Chains A and B, each alone.
Chain A
Amino acid sequence: MSRYAGSAKWGRQMLRLVSEAKAESLRLTAEEGFLLSRLDGHTPWRLVRDIGGMEPEEADLCVEGWLASGLLEVAGYASEMAESQSRSPSWRFEAVDSKAVPRTVDESLIDSTLDLSQEAQRRILEFECRLSLPPHELLETSPKANAREVKKAYFKLSREFHPDRYFRKKVDHFGPRLDRIFKKILEAHEALASIAEGDPGLRSPSGEAPGADSSPAIVEPLRSSKLEQLRRRMPLPIPDSIRGERRQKAVALARAAERSARLGDHQEAITSLRVAIRFDPSEIKHRRALVDLEAGQALAQAKEWMADSPSAFSGVPPEALGSVLAQLEKGLVQSQRDGSDYFYGAWLALKVGDWEKSQRFAELALEKDPSEARYHTALGRAHKAKGEIGLARRFFQQALKLNPNEGQAKKSLAGLKARGIHAAQEVCNG
């Protein structure tokens, strides 16, 4: 868990785009764009960071980067009360960020019949008001505290608030309160400890270089993705331990995907890869693998459609055609493939109505294998669609020369002739 999850104030901030911001000028990934679109100025960040297309820690990083670059501003803070009581969208606003002033304790909650001294009860109620403070303030340590000081503070508060300290005691409503307090203390400690862990100097005072064996992230490839750039600007990066773990998970998932793909379960493989990318968005290999798989899937779909109906693709909704084409296209851009892949691309593009693209794909297919009659037909169809009748005729004839039985070419040529006559008649009539 990142430090932010532990920091309630960070989670309560409600973000919005600065009015003069030009979001279009940024080069955002789909996930980043989605995240940005969710920042409406009245939903607390805590709720938004979990539902975006990326992992919460990455979302934190993005937002911190945008805040730093002046793209976002804090519109206000959701009230802690609203959040803990109902979590309904009716947020109360706090005009200014008041440093979470300890509210006065409601004396009516103090009950002298309990197995808890009145001072202890007051302390619990007071501490409960502090739960929204950032981790180090909650633990009553300085922001620069080292791992040992953090642990000391955590132990000290645990000794005071751990539910086991009140085992079988009559504590009434203080029971759930203690539970809540201890969980918050635990979260704060976890958040601070994971930061301290990233700083090896804090953990091992004995000198010699530690971590070289345990931290695979020391040697990073030179490639610097957007995420990496963001990360470099961040004062507090995601701890290596978390990153390493997620990277490993991603690798395991990618391996599972490979296995599924080999067994023919492409849908499963695609799902695994998508999850892998969520775990390690900076790894190009997973993204590439996904694009390849999706392209393969798209190709299979296109083939199925073509086999299904002799009139090729009729009855397939245009959106479906478009999305299949987009997937195939991505794969074709990414890696070299054989002629028939481009051929299917050309057909799909034609059916979608993108004739230029159709022509380009057909040409690429022909480049791969000029002796394939079907490719000539496809190119002819593209030209025909563009109204370049002469060119179209040439390619259809070429196709028929290569394969006299090429039905599509025959039909298209016949169609052309009919249309030619029709056009001629019109001219006459005119």
Chain B
Amino acid sequence: MGRVIGIDLGTTNSCIAIVEDGQPIVIPNSGGYKTMPSMFGISQDGKRLVGHLAKRQAITNAQNTVYAAKRLIGRRFDSTEVQRSIELCPYEIVQGPHEDARIELAEKTFTCPELAGITLREMKRIAEEYLGEPVHEAVITCPAYFNDAQRQGTKDAGKIAGLEVLRIINEPTAAALAYGMARPGDQRIAVYDLGGGTFDVSILEISEGVIEVLATAGNTFLGGEDFDRRIVAHIVKGFEEAEGIDLRSDTMALQRLKDAAEKAKCDLSMREETEINLPFIASDPEGPRHLNFELDRVMLERLVDDIVQGTLKSVEQCVQDAGLRPSDVDQVVMVGGQSRMPLVQSAVSDYFGKRPHKGVNPDEVVALGAAVQGAALVEEGQDVLLLDVTPLSLGISTYGGHFARLIDRNTTVPVTKAHIFTTTRDDQSAVKIRVFQGESDLATENDLLGEFVLAGIRPARKGEPEVEVSFDIDSNGIVSVSARDLATGQEQSITVSSTSTLSDSEIDQMAADQQNYEVAFKG
């Protein structure tokens, strides 16, 4: 049997790891890079470019280069998140046939799982090159706040890349696995994960190889890119005031600015001030214009302070959910490139009253944890056990549109929970069970996972029939729901694991497509 790789499929960068001789290590690509940009582009001459190659040409080919597609995966086209991305992204986002968001590049339409699949296939290739043997199985990470559709999209991406996805685990949990596996004793740790595009915080308890998630909070639409965007907006405004030229409609200039802003931001983590130099950024009848801008740490911190404070609200929520106080946390682990920022570091250490742990590389620790979980599942003699939790509450809609929770979020799986429901009309002969996932008390504000009807209820006054609705989540995260009429023993059930927007044949088609391209590459 082949080895299981761990993949951190990030919004901006991705990383792969594997466990060798009991130790998780990151697999570098042939250029020595340990992480790879999650980017894909189609060049002017129709070549498909992935990772670093895609990033390198992004400036000159912004419309045909996708970044941050992870933000769109598993989301409906009409959702506010997608609509916001349409405004922000230089590439074209269109509506797919299943109301999903798709991306148009060089006149071809790609689904989001397909784009993620392209990144995953590249990671698979790098791993195979390194190991010298084929790789078929992976554990992939996703933000803790991903819902069922987003997780399913990630699984589909794995399939498209030709990988069997053994598990999807949460990024902060993976970080805790990598951190905790080598450390004996009991600890409560907080993982603060501020990546390129998402923010998660989790509190976990570790004891002799067993890891339990106590609480999770976060925001799938907040990350380092929001920092970059603040800087870009600041510079664009300054440039407009100084030169009278508006750069907002110039995609190429914006792409250059975005890169420069990201670099300046990273610089300012080490230095107090930096300079942004972009010659020939624009031109008007008077000739070419150059952008020369000085940015210092104080200014940067002023620009993004409210974002950082916003993350602390989630942290506070999480600590409360775990039933702890900040001082009960023994160790703070910082994950994600953006967590390197001194302002973020100081805000977090102020909150917990202790300095974050220094021993992990925030870009790599998530992939390492995914590899640890992969090995724990399939290899002998592993003494690591993850008590994983369900990320969002599950329940059904009841009379008046209320959401009746049967399984609360952060409940350890596998688990079964049941509750008795009844009818709302006299002589009602059937009940419709609509299964929702989410945290709102109004059912319609949550995500509908599936529905079914239990018929054949004996005529009775409202409130008398008893229907037992039971939810079950198995250890692979597959949810099944059943409803049983206690009077007749009549039963109906569904499995609501596959709310995939893509059919199996579509996925197979995409997988085959990609394989063709891979062959074409090599040939």
Contact = CB atoms under 8 A, between A and B. Distances in A.
Most buried by B among A162, A164, A168, A182: A164
Name the prevailing secondary structure of the B interface residues. mixed
B210 A158 contact: yes
Interface string A45-81: 0000011000000000000000000000000000000
B376 A164 contact: yes
B414 A182 contact: yes
B210 A155 contact: yes
A219 to B, nearest CB: 20
B387 A158 contact: yes
A309 interface: no
Interface stretch (A11-19, A267-275, A366-374): A267-275
A206 B327 contact: yes
B171 interface: no
A163 B424 CA distance: 40
A163 B414 contact: yes
A51 B420 contact: yes
A179 B474 contact: yes
A183 B400 contact: no
B465 to A, nearest CB: 11
A164 B386 contact: yes
B278 interface: no
Contacts of A214: 320, 323
Interface string B176-204: 00000000001000000000000000000
Nearest to B420: A50
A252 B441 contact: yes
Given A204-B325, A214-B320, A252-B441, A159 B209 contact: yes
B420 A168 contact: no
Contacts of A288: none
Contacts of A328: none
Tier of interface size on chain B: 35 or more
Contacts of B400: 256, 260, 268, 271-272
Interface in B319-378: 320, 323, 325, 327-328, 376-378
Given A155-B208, A253-B402, A197 B323 contact: yes
Interface in A396-423: none
B444 interface: no
A162 B210 CA distance: 11
A390 interface: no
A159 B399 CA distance: 42
Nearest to B475: A163
B212 interface: yes
Given A155-B212, A179-B414, A275 B402 contact: yes
A236 B366 CA distance: 42
A203 B205 CA distance: 13
A162 B209 CA distance: 13
Contacts of A268: 400
Given A159-B385, A165-B385, A179-B414, A51 B466 contact: yes
B377 A167 contact: yes
Most buried by B among A159, A210, A252: A159
Given A162-B385, A183-B414, A210-B325, A168 B205 contact: no
B207 A151 contact: yes
Contacts of A155: 207-208, 210, 212
B219 interface: no
B399 A271 contact: yes
A322 B208 CA distance: 67
A165 to B, nearest CB: 7
A324 interface: no
B415 interface: yes
Contacts of B207: 151-152, 155
Contacts of A163: 414, 474-475
Interface in A183-206: 183, 186, 197, 203-204, 206
Given A151-B205, A203-B323, A206-B327, A168 B378 contact: yes
Contacts of A204: 325, 328
B164 to A, nearest CB: 11
A133 B385 CA distance: 25
Contacts of B399: 271
Contacts of B493: none
Interface in B439-453: 441
Interface string A135-179: 000000000000010011001001100111101100000000001
Contacts of A51: 420, 466
Interface string A257-300: 00010000000100110010000000000000000000000000
B378 A186 contact: no
Interface in B58-75: none
A175 to B, nearest CB: 10
A114 B122 CA distance: 38
Given A155-B207, A155-B208, A162 B387 contact: yes
B185 to A, nearest CB: 12
Nearest to A272: B400
B412 interface: yes
A275 B415 CA distance: 26
A148 B212 CA distance: 13
B479 to A, nearest CB: 15
Contact of A159 (B210, B328, B412, B474): B210
Nearest to A271: B400
Interface string B275-311: 0000000000000000000000000000000000000
Contacts of A168: 377-378
A250 to B, nearest CB: 11
A164 B377 contact: yes
A252 B405 CA distance: 15
B127 to A, nearest CB: 20
Nearest to A147: B323
Contacts of B412: 186
B353 to A, nearest CB: 12
A271 B407 CA distance: 23
Contacts of A272: 400, 402
Contacts of A271: 399-400, 424
B416 interface: yes
A151 to B, nearest CB: 7
Interface string A222-254: 000000000000000000010000000100110
Contacts of A197: 323
B441 to A, nearest CB: 6
Contacts of A151: 205, 207
Contacts of B420: 50-51
Interface in B461-490: 466, 474-475
Nearest to A205: B328
A165 B414 CA distance: 13
A46 to B, nearest CB: 11
Nearest to B484: A87
B375 to A, nearest CB: 11
A152 to B, nearest CB: 7
20 contacts: A151-B205, A151-B207, A152-B207, A155-B212, A159-B209, A159-B210, A159-B385, A162-B385, A162-B387, A163-B414, A163-B474, A164-B377, A168-B378, A179-B414, A186-B412, A210-B325, A252-B441, A260-B400, A271-B424, A275-B402
Given A158-B210, A164-B385, 4 more contacts: A51-B466, A164-B377, A179-B474, A249-B441
Interface of A: 50-51, 148, 151-152, 155, 158-159, 162-165, 167-168, 179, 182-183, 186, 197, 203-204, 206, 210, 214, 241, 249, 252-253, 256, 260, 268, 271-272, 275
| 3 closest cross-chain pairs (CB), A and B | A155-B210, A163-B475, A167-B377
